[in-house]
């Protein structure tokens, strides 16, 4: 068998290697240790392995090593991949990720947007595990609890080579999980990403895409995300402060609003709205009903989901959204509010205004606040493209789920 045939056989071998986590430093086949796996080094490693296999012996490199070397050569240009996560910590990867655990549904969703092989996700958090419609492929995976109550024993039994945690949510809790993981299994790579903040999400998309060898897909998804968010920012830019729409944003619970520290307030602001209750230290303050009437909001937005568990991906329930809206319209004194007079009271589900899908909900807010400025913005189309083109799930928004009303 000539060497050209041997190399072709090596390329065939790399597609059928059983998964086994190995996070040892150094790319297999990098003989001179200069952190660059050249094509000559890879060819030599593959041929040496095949020669040994042909003779019935065992060489220095395993079949998995050869596969990893091929992957690094193809996706990282033969070099280790340095990943700086949202906590500012830099981790060096020498091999592809094969066994991933996610404590963050947002990171899990982002991995799927990037075309990561979901078979390589071996366990997810309990909240993602419970989303049977949105994460159907996760129902058979292990459940590792949440960052607030992690099943550390289960995580370690699964022998992951990477674990995804939040960067800025419950940092002390996530820090503790990271310390325990790294103490128990030094080879585990821990990544800290949020994947829900408009300011950092594009960078996180590209960074995670590099880690999983999906740079091209990452650029495509980041461009899709940025095209929507930039359209919103551009459309809201230049609106004088005294002409911005006054918005009363109500959380799941009656007369509970959002203040400056809440993400929902940020999205209201990005869409060009002014929140009269933005000041204060509490993220979700309870307001005096009379104060709402006094501020006379021009738009009212009510949040559904979780604390007001209807709709979203879990159910097509327009009647429930209609009932929520009708109840608000009937509140004492609300008939005098501009938003009620002008029929500008809306209900939106947290599935599309929080987490990785925040750009979809923000597009709806912009459309509601300034219909003329955003006449060409179609949040429904953005949502459907996201599901079909990036999440890869068969979900028809025309007949499934309820996310906004009316």
CA-to-CA distance for 250 and 292, rounded, in angstroms?
A: 10
Question: Is 185 or 265 the better-scoring residue by pLDDT?
Answer: 265
3-state secondary structure the chain: CCHHHHHHHHHHHHHHCCCCCCCCCCCCCCCCCCCCCCHHHHHHHHHHHHHHHHCCCCCCCCHHHHHHHHHHHHHCCCCCEEEECCCCCEEEECCCCCCEEECCHHHHHHHHHCCCCHHHEEEECHHHHCCCCCCHHHCCCEECECCCCECHHHHHHHCCCEEEECCCCCHHHHHHHHHHHHHHCCCCEEEECCCCCCCCHHHHHHHHHHHCCCHHHHHHHHHHHHHHHHHHHHHHCCCCHHHCEEEEEECCCCCEECCCCCHHHHHHHHCCEECCCCCCCCCCCECCHHHHHHHCCCEEEEEEECCECCCECCCCCHHHHHHHHHHHHCCCCHHHCHHHHCCCEEEEEHHHCCHHHHHHHHHHHHHHHCCCCCCCCCHHHHHHHHHHHHHCCCCCCCCCCECEEC
User: Do residue 86 and residue 70 come from a single domain?
Assistant: no
User: Do residue 314 and residue 187 come from a single domain?
Assistant: no
Average pLDDT for 304-330: 94
Token digits of residue 178: 């990271």
Average pLDDT for 43-71: 77
220 domain residue, yes or no: no
87 domain residue, yes or no: yes
In the structure, what pLDDT confidence band is assigned to residue 58 with cuts at 50, 70 and 90? low
Per-residue pLDDT at 23 exceeds 90? no
User: Do residue 400 and residue 271 come from a single domain?
Assistant: yes
18 domain residue, yes or no: yes
Per-residue pLDDT at 249 exceeds 60? yes
User: Do residue 131 and residue 48 come from a single domain?
Assistant: no
Chain centroid to Cα 198, Å, comes to: 11
CA-to-CA distance for 123 and 278, rounded, in angstroms?
A: 38
Average pLDDT for 49-71: 76
User: Do residue 380 and residue 249 come from a single domain?
Assistant: yes
User: Do residue 249 and residue 379 come from a single domain?
Assistant: yes
CA distances from 212 to 38, 106, 193, 222, 268 (A): 20, 16, 14, 15, 33
- Bond into 406 cis (ω within 30): yes
Domain span at 313:
240-405
Chain centroid to Cα 367, Å, comes to: 24
User: Do residue 179 and residue 325 come from a single domain?
Assistant: no
In the predicted model, what is the mean pLDDT of the chain?
91
User: Do residue 252 and residue 383 come from a single domain?
Assistant: yes
Question: Is 8 or 59 the better-scoring residue by pLDDT?
Answer: 59
Average pLDDT for 137-149: 95
Question: Is 8 or 215 the better-scoring residue by pLDDT?
Answer: 215
Q: Please give the tally of structural domains in the chain.
A: 3
Question: Is 120 or 70 the better-scoring residue by pLDDT?
Answer: 120
221 domain residue, yes or no: no
Per-residue pLDDT at 3 exceeds 60? no
The pLDDT tens digits of the residues spanning 161-189 come to 999 999 999 999 999 999 999 999 888 99
User: Do residue 199 and residue 64 come from a single domain?
Assistant: no
Interacting residues of 320 by C-beta distance below 8 A, sequence separation 6+: 304, 310, 311, 402
Q: In this structure, what CATH number is given to the domain that contains residue 400?
A: 3.40.50.1980
User: Do residue 55 and residue 95 come from a single domain?
Assistant: no
CA distances from 1 to 9, 39, 108 (A): 10, 21, 45
Terminal CA-CA length for the chain:
69
Residue where one domain finishes, among candidates 60, 75, 90 = 75
147 domain residue, yes or no: yes
In the structure, what pLDDT confidence band is assigned to residue 28 with cuts at 50, 70 and 90? confident
Residue where one domain finishes, among candidates 51, 75, 99 = 75
225 domain residue, yes or no: no
The pLDDT tens digits of the residues spanning 66-119 come to 888 888 989 999 999 999 999 999 999 999 999 999 999 999 999 999 999 999
Residue where one domain finishes, among candidates 57, 75, 93 = 75
User: Do residue 93 and residue 197 come from a single domain?
Assistant: yes
Per-residue pLDDT at 57 exceeds 70? no
User: Do residue 131 and residue 252 come from a single domain?
Assistant: no
The whole-number pLDDT of residue 99 equals 97
* Range name among 73-82, 214-223, 346-355 with the lowest pLDDT average: 73-82
Per-residue pLDDT at 215 exceeds 60? yes
């Amino acid at each position: 068998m000539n060497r050209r045939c041997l190399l072709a056989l090596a390329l065939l071998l790399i597609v059928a290697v059983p998964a086994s986590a190995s996070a040892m430093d150094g790319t297999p086949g990098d003989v001179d240790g200069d952190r660059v796996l050249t094509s000559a080094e890879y060819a030599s490693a593959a041929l040496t392995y095949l020669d040994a296999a042909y003779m019935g012996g065992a060489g220095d490199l395993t079949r998995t090593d050869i596969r990893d070397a091929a992957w690094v050569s193809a996706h990282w240009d033969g070099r280790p991949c340095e990943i700086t996560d949202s906590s500012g910590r830099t981790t060096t990867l020498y091999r592809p990720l094969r066994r991933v655990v996610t404590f963050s549904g947002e990171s899990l969703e982002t991995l799927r947007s990037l075309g990561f092989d979901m078979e390589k996700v071996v366990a997810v958090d309990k909240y993602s595990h419970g989303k049977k419609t949105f994460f159907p492929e996760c129902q058979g995976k292990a459940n590792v609890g949440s960052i607030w109550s992690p099943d550390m024993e289960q995580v370690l039994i699964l022998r992951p080579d990477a674990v995804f945690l939040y960067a800025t949510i419950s940092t002390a809790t996530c820090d503790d999980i990271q310390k325990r993981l790294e103490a128990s299994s030094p080879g585990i790579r821990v990544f800290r990403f949020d994947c829900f903040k408009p300011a950092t999400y594009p960078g996180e998309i590209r960074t995670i895409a590099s880690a999983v060898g999906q740079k091209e897909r990452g650029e495509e998804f980041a461009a899709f995300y940025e095209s929507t968010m930039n359209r919103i920012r551009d459309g809201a830019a230049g609106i004088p402060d005294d002409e911005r729409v006054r918005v009363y944003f109500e959380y799941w619970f009656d007369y509970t609003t959002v203040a400056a520290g809440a993400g929902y307030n940020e999205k209201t602001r990005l869409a060009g709205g002014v929140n009269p209750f933005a000041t204060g230290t509490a993220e979700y303050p309870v307001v005096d009903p009379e104060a709402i009437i006094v501020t006379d909001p021009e738009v009212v937005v009510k949040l559904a989901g979780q604390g007001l568990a209807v709709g979203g991906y879990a159910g097509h329930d327009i009647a429930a959204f209609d009932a929520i809206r009708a109840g608000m319209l009937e509140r004492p004194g609300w008939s005098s509010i501009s938003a009620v007079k002008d029929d500008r009271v809306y209900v939106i589900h947290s599935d599309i205004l929080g987490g990785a899908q925040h750009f979809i909900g923000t597009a709806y807010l912009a459309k509601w606040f300034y219909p003329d400025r955003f006449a060409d913005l179609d949040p429904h189309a953005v949502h459907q493209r996201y599901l079909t083109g990036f999440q890869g799930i068969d979900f028809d928004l025309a007949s499934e789920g309820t996310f906004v009303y009316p």
